[in-house]
Copies of this chain bind each other. A is one copy, B any other.
Amino acid sequence: MSRRAPTLEDVAREAGVSRATVSRVVNGIRNVDPQIQELVRRAIERTGYAPNRAARSLVTRRTETVALVVSGAGDTSDAGQNAFAARVFADPFFGRVVGGIVGFLRPRSLHPVLMFAESAEAREEVLTYLRQGRADGALVVSTHADDPLPALLADARLPAVLFARPSRPVPLSYVDLAHRDGAHLAAEHLLARGCRRLGTISGPLDVAASQERLAGFRDTLARHGHPYVPVAEGGFTLDSGITAMADLLDRHPETDGVFAANDLMAQGACQVLRERGRRVPEDVAVVGFDDSSIAVTCRPPLTTVRQPVEEMAARMARLLDEHIDGVRTDPTAVVFEPELVVRASA
C-alpha cells in the first residue's frame, strides 16, 4: 500500500536530468538554467518529492535541530520528572522563553527538541543526544544556579548557550538580565511613593538571579538609610509567595511596601494582603518582577520590573546559531537592561 517515497533519483529520471542538478535546484544553488529549473520543479511537483533529511544530514553533518533543555540541578528520581515538566511550564516565564526561541528558529527552519535534564541520567542523555549528532547544539535554561549541565557541555565541546550566567564560570555564551538594576528600580519606586517599612520576598537563594535581585534591593535601601530589610525566601511559585507574604506580615505587621522577586509570588502576596485586610497599594504597595502575563491579570494589576524574556530568548537562539555556523567562536555574554512598568499595585 504505502509505496516507497520518491527519491532524488526518481525526480531526476522524471525530469530527464541528473541527480546533481535536481539537488542543486532543491538547495537553491545558482548556476542552473532557468528552463531546467522549471523542468525540475515540475518533476518535483509531479512526484511529490520530499528530500530525505537523514541522507542529507549524513553528508552535511547538520540536523537543523537544536535541543531546548530545561535543566534542574537536583538528582530527582525519574518519577519526579513528569511533575518537573508540569511545574516548569506552570510559570508563564517559560512560555515566553519558548515563544522567543521559536520566533527566532522558525523563520530559519530550525527546530527545537524539548528535553528535561533534572537528573544525572537525564543529563547524560542530553550529552549523548548531541554527540550522536541528533541536534546541532543546545539551548539551556537552568532552574538552579549550580546546574552541572553547562560544564558537561563545555567539556564535551558541544555548542551550547545558556539563559542566565552560571554560578561558576563556564566557557559558554549566555544571555542574562541586569537583575541588580531591576531590583534597584523597584526599591527606588517604592521609596519614591513614600513607603518606609519595606520587605522583600526573594526567589530561591540557590539561584543567582534571586541573590542579585535581593542584593540590589538591599543595596539601594541601604544607600537610602535602611540598613535592615526583612526577607522571606520563596520558590518562584504562587504558593511560596503566599507563604512568604504571610510570614513577612507576621514578623513585620507594619510593612507598607513589598518587592517580590517574580510576578507569581507578587500575586500570592496580593492575595494574602487582601485577605488580611490590607489594601494594595494604599496600605501596602507591591512590586513584582518579570512583567509576565499575570502582571496584567492580577488584582490589582502589578507594577513590576520588566524582563524582555522573548528578546533574550531570541538572542540566545541567535548566539547558538552563530556558534553552530562557526561565525562566532568565543563565549559571549549579552546582558539586557530591565525597566519598570508602573501599574496599580505600587
What residues of chain A have their CB less than 8 Å away from a CB belonging to chain B? 2, 5, 50-55, 57-58, 63, 65, 68, 78, 81-90, 92, 94-96, 98-100, 102-103, 106-107, 111-116, 122, 128-129, 131-134, 157, 238-239, 242, 268, 271, 274-275, 293-294, 296-297, 299, 310
Contacts and interface: CB of A to CB of B under 8 A. Distances in A.
A296 B88 CA distance: 17
Nearest to A84: B99
A288 to B, nearest CB: 16
Contacts of A2: 157
Copies in the complex: 2
Most buried by B among A68, A86, A103, A133: A86
Contacts of A115: 111
B86 A50 contact: no
Nearest to A82: B103
Contacts of A85: 95, 98-99, 102-103
Contacts of A100: 82
A5 to B, nearest CB: 7
A55 B115 CA distance: 22
Contact of A52 (B5, B116, B133): B133
A59 to B, nearest CB: 9
Most buried by B among A2, A52, A54: A54
A310 B91 CA distance: 18
17 contacts: A50-B132, A52-B58, A54-B55, A54-B58, A58-B58, A65-B134, A78-B106, A81-B102, A85-B95, A85-B102, A90-B95, A102-B116, A106-B116, A111-B114, A111-B115, A113-B114, A238-B294
Contacts of A238: 294, 297
Most buried by B among A82, A96, A112, A275: A82
A51 B132 CA distance: 6
A216 B43 CA distance: 53
A112 B111 contact: no
Contact of A53 (B96, B132, B157): B132
A197 to B, nearest CB: 25
A57 B133 CA distance: 12
A94 B89 contact: yes
A92 B102 contact: no
Given A103-B81, A132-B52, A133-B54, A86 B111 contact: no
Contacts of A88: 95
A239 B2 CA distance: 48
Contacts of A103: 81-82, 85
Nearest to A58: B54
A77 to B, nearest CB: 13
B95 A86 contact: yes
B89 A92 contact: yes
